[in-house]
A = this chain, B = another copy of it.
Amino acid sequence: MRAAADILRQHRLPVTAQRVAVLSEVSRRPHATADEIAEGVRVELGSISRQSVYNVLTVLTDKGIIRRIQPADSAARYEDRVGDNHHHLVCRACGHTQDVCCAKGHAPCLTAHDHHGFAIDEAEVIYWGLCPACQRKPKR
């Protein structure tokens, strides 16, 4: 992946330390929450306000540089991998999130046959289950 600063410039976004750090963090640790990203950025930058993390994540999402996913029972998560058709595997126990390719290329069954007049622009798929680690833990 190109340097964060270049990506920002390419999108005509003023390059600030906060933006570079947040984007790098999203790239380094996919599927992290805003809070986790803030922590990671603080290691690098010393500090960043909570609001700035949200500001940056919002502008990056709006530009299509990153993607926001919001599984149930979890704060929003962000990822760097955009533009391809991939979905997610989420662990019900620990929230661990993993990318999965769409099962059948162009998702034959992801076009609702009766769309009730909706103008559909995205089919979001989340597979729920237990990750390998949580399967081994004693049930609660």
Question: In A84-138, which residues have CB < 8 Å from any B CB?
Answer: 87, 89, 91-92, 98, 100-104, 107-132, 135
Q: Which chain B residues border A122 with CB–CB below 8 Å? A: 127-129
Contact across chains for B118 and A113 when beta carbons are under 8 A apart: no
A131 to B98, CA, bound (A): 30
Known A119-B129, A124-B126; judge A110-B112 contact (CB<8 A): no
How many residues of chain A are within 8 Å of chain B by beta carbon? 43
A115 shortest CB reach to chain B, Å: 7
Contact across chains for A129 and B125 when beta carbons are under 8 A apart: no
A47 to B51, CA, bound (A): 38
A24 to B132, CA, bound (A): 39
A124 to B100, CA, bound (A): 14
Q: Is residue A70 within 8 Å, beta carbon to beta carbon, of the partner chain?
A: yes
Contact across chains for A101 and B113 when beta carbons are under 8 A apart: yes
In the complex, besides A121-B129, A122-B127, 16 extra interface pairs with C-beta distance below 8 angstroms are A68-B72, A69-B72, A70-B73, A89-B120, A91-B118, A92-B121, A100-B116, A101-B112, A101-B113, A103-B110, A104-B108, A104-B109, A108-B109, A110-B125, A116-B131, A122-B129
A91 to B122, CA, bound (A): 11
